[in-house]
Amino acid sequence: MKISLQITDIHALRKAVIYEITKNFCQAEKFAHLCSFQLSAKHSRKTENGKVCLRLTYPRHAKGLCPPLENISSTHGSQATSSFIHKVVASQSSRNRAVTDFYLNANTFKSCVLNTIVSRQGAHGVDSDIHSWSLEEKGNGIVKRQISNIAVDYSSPNIAKPFHAGHLRSTLIGHFLSTLYSALGDKVTRINYLGDWGTQFGLITSGYRMFGDSNLLRENAVQHLYDLYVRMNRLKETDPSIALEVERAGSDLNEGKEDVYKLWKTIRKASIESNSKIYQRLGVWFDAHEWESDHHITAKKLCDQLLSDGKLEYIDGAYCILLEDKRGKLQKVVLLKGNGSTLYISRDVAAFLSRYKKYKFDKMLYVVDNGQHSHISNISRIVDHHSLMTDSGSSASSLIQHVKFGRVSGMSTRKGTSVLLADILEEAKQRMIEKMCSTNTTQATGEELGRIAESLSSSAVIVSDLRLSRLKDYSFDWEKVLSLGADSGPFLQITHSRLSSLEKNCGVELNLSPSLELLVEAEAIRLIIHLAKYDEAVMKSATQQEACVLVRYLFDLCHLSNSAFKKLTVKGGRQDVAEARLLMFHCARLTLSHGLSLLSIPPLSSI
């Protein structure tokens, strides 16, 4: 039996190999689940032209499900005569795995890849028409990706406490995942759940009543509130009258007493304004701001209901719920204090229920550090234990996912131990300016220098975090973060700006159909193959919820572009060769620029 394929672009190629062939000739879904594929270059100096190989690997026992892959012939676009797959070699790579290599016509492959990238302007990793069949890794298999409605709770600082390193990680990871999912076609709701309720607010409002300064609050709310917080905490230990004052302010707030309530609102407003400057610098934004206090009343109602239904136990002066842990042991979770005030966990349960009503999500992600693991799992355990999701067939445990991450240590500024994020970003900018001024390649001066330094330093902070795998603890190292060397945010930006200036200054017009057979060098083939793998990196990043997969892909893209850049000159060479190379560099830049946008880093075109 002969199989004929019409291949239009690089995605159609994979689609063809994985789905169309299998759909027509075997039990497609089953086979597709079992196989994986890999694009690679087989470059031979003798034959000059590099070969491109798409290797399909599947378990030998699945051979029965597999179509006669050797009988494939293919055409590309309207050129009915040009064959895309020019050889198919089936072999067995191990006792258990079988392998089929599709040797692709390199010229057709190059034009497929570059045309796809140009026509999609670098978004070839995420387009929605690709998405409907895009392949996603799951274990060793490949499955179709479903479009989902996802809510993401991230950043979520406490307004009376400093925005610390944990919040920075949550902000960066949560924002990355949200951007990536929405680029893949999911409906995403980005939620910032601001901690504005709880005992620390007695501390902060009483502190402000005693030592507050409206000017300082206006200038730098977060710093001022933090200073008050630290001061009151210290005083409270030694002075019982202060402890009393703190308690009084706390209960005044709970009861909604006007003066303290007004003060608390001012503090909230000032602190959200100063956080928004940080978010702006990191390219971060939200669809919804939720206040923890919004859920205080509903949490109270919920607890009262549970209490009147006899579902809470009164133990050691507080109202609790008893949940069985994995080993069947009963574990106590306090939902309501003896004085009737709600807790972090009860407000989170109420928040989850109200969000579900509002957004009807398929998934609710909490991007919160490892340390809150039992807190997040208690949300779903409490909801499910008492079947609180009355209007839905789902269970909270099937909807809630804790996107955990490791701890960051050693994040302090030059001045001392304060870990305010605003200071970190400002210090990063200052250090970047110093660094740039001491480098003789820097052309920018004055305001321009400041703007570029700000952008480079934000990219440095973003990438230094996202390049690491999520669960890893790490210690923050200024020198590493701000290095302009390889594998950093500035490295991505510098490569992007180098590619942009090549396009501007090479003196060659961009020709979208150059003679691609002139791109024969190993550096060119390797770069083009890497460009063709962008969607793989994007999908893997999404499935594993690991930004580092995409970041590493972009580092490799920059390394490959830089080595092609050194070897394959554009300016001053033969016109036809220059045009072919220019198109390749243009596609590398489009892909890099798109990848940077997924990291929320606006690409720089000159430094």
Stretch that binds ligand ARG, among 50-58, 97-105, 149-157, 502-510 (CB under 6 A): 149-157
Residues pairing with 605 in the sheet? none
Contacts of 457 (CB under 8 A, 6+ apart): 425, 428, 429, 431, 432, 482
Measured from the CB atom, the residue of 222 and 538 that comes closer to ligand ARG is 222
Q: Residue 482, SS3?
A: coil
Is 167 marked active-site? yes
Q: Which of 23, 86, 144, 164 is catalytic?
A: 164
In the chain the first and final C-alpha atoms are separated, in Å, by: 58
* Binder of ligand ARG out of 364, 368, 460, 520 (CB under 6 A): 368
Stretch that binds ligand ARG, among 22-30, 155-163, 441-449, 596-604 (CB under 6 A): 155-163
Measured from the CB atom, the residue of 209 and 300 that comes closer to ligand ARG is 300
Do 122 and 115 meet the contact criterion of CB atoms below 8 Å apart? no
Stretch that binds ligand ARG, among 54-62, 151-159, 250-258, 433-441 (CB under 6 A): 151-159
Q: Is the dihedral of CA 490, 495, 500, 504 positive or negative?
A: positive
* Binder of ligand ARG out of 58, 84, 286, 366 (CB under 6 A): 366
Do 199 and 250 meet the contact criterion of CB atoms below 8 Å apart? yes
Phi then psi dihedrals of residue 120, to 5 deg: -100, 5
Query: What's the min distance (Å) between Cβ of 353 and ligand ARG?
Result: 12
Contacts of 143 (CB under 8 A, 6+ apart): 32, 33, 135, 136
Measured from the CB atom, the residue of 158 and 497 that comes closer to ligand ARG is 158
Query: What's the min distance (Å) between Cβ of 371 and ligand ARG?
Result: 9
What torsion do the CA atoms of 226, 232, 233, 235 make, to the nearest 10 degrees?
150
Stretch that binds ligand ARG, among 108-116, 153-161, 208-216, 480-488 (CB under 6 A): 153-161
| 186 binds ligand ARG per the rule CB under 6 A | no
Do 453 and 490 meet the contact criterion of CB atoms below 8 Å apart? no
Chain centroid, CA 241 distance in Å: 47
Measured from the CB atom, the residue of 105 and 158 that comes closer to ligand ARG is 158
What torsion do the CA atoms of 80, 84, 89, 91 make, to the nearest 10 degrees?
-130
Q: Which of 43, 76, 110, 161 is catalytic?
A: 161
Measured from the CB atom, the residue of 169 and 496 that comes closer to ligand ARG is 169
Distances (CA, A) of 74 to 40, 120, 587: 19, 23, 25
Measured from the CB atom, the residue of 153 and 487 that comes closer to ligand ARG is 153
| 67 binds ligand ARG per the rule CB under 6 A | no
Give the pairing type, strands 51-59 and 97-104: antiparallel
SS3 content of the chain, % helix, strand, coil (to 5): 55, 15, 30
Q: Which of 373, 374, 379, 294 is nearest to 335 (CA)?
A: 379
Query: What's the min distance (Å) between Cβ of 159 and ligand ARG?
Result: 9
Query: What's the min distance (Å) between Cβ of 156 and ligand ARG?
Result: 4
Neighbours of 550 (CB within 10 A): 24
What's the angle, vertex CA 250, arms to CA 249 and CA 253, rounded to 5? 85
Do 590 and 584 meet the contact criterion of CB atoms below 8 Å apart? no
| 156 binds ligand ARG per the rule CB under 6 A | yes
Query: What's the min distance (Å) between Cβ of 576 and ligand ARG?
Result: 58
Task: Report the C-alpha gap between 148 and 363 in whole angstroms.
Answer: 8
Query: What's the min distance (Å) between Cβ of 275 and ligand ARG?
Result: 12
Measured from the CB atom, the residue of 373 and 472 that comes closer to ligand ARG is 373
Phi then psi dihedrals of residue 386, to 5 deg: -105, 15
The DSSP code for 17 is I
Query: What's the min distance (Å) between Cβ of 369 and ligand ARG?
Result: 8
Spell out, one character per residue from 302 to 341, where the chain touches ligand ARG: x when CB under 6 A holds, - when not: ----------------------------------------
Is 161 marked active-site? yes
* Binder of ligand ARG out of 75, 100, 116, 158 (CB under 6 A): 158
Measured from the CB atom, the residue of 168 and 584 that comes closer to ligand ARG is 168
Q: Rounded to a whole number, what is the largest CA-CA distance in the chain?
A: 91
Q: Which of 167, 296, 402, 533 is catalytic?
A: 167
Is 363 marked active-site? no
Q: Restricting to residues 187-206, which ones interact with ligand ARG according to CB under 6 A?
A: 193, 195
Do 429 and 176 meet the contact criterion of CB atoms below 8 Å apart? no
Measured from the CB atom, the residue of 134 and 189 that comes closer to ligand ARG is 189
Query: What's the min distance (Å) between Cβ of 290 and ligand ARG?
Result: 8
Q: Which of 21, 57, 26 is nearest to 39 (CA)?
A: 57
Stretch that binds ligand ARG, among 110-118, 150-158, 236-244, 550-558 (CB under 6 A): 150-158
Stretch that binds ligand ARG, among 154-162, 472-480, 509-517, 577-585 (CB under 6 A): 154-162
Query: What's the min distance (Å) between Cβ of 193 and ligand ARG?
Result: 4
Task: Report the C-alpha gap between 71 and 88 in whole angstroms.
Answer: 8
The DSSP code for 371 is G
Number of residues that bind ligand ARG (CB under 6 A): 9
Task: Report the C-alpha gap between 198 and 158 in whole angstroms.
Answer: 10
Measured from the CB atom, the residue of 194 and 539 that comes closer to ligand ARG is 194
Do 192 and 272 meet the contact criterion of CB atoms below 8 Å apart? no
* Binder of ligand ARG out of 127, 153, 186, 465 (CB under 6 A): 153
* Binder of ligand ARG out of 9, 186, 245, 348 (CB under 6 A): 348
- Residues serving a catalytic function are 161, 164, 167
Q: What residue ranges bind ligand ARG (CB under 6 A)?
A: 153, 156-158, 193, 195, 348, 366, 368
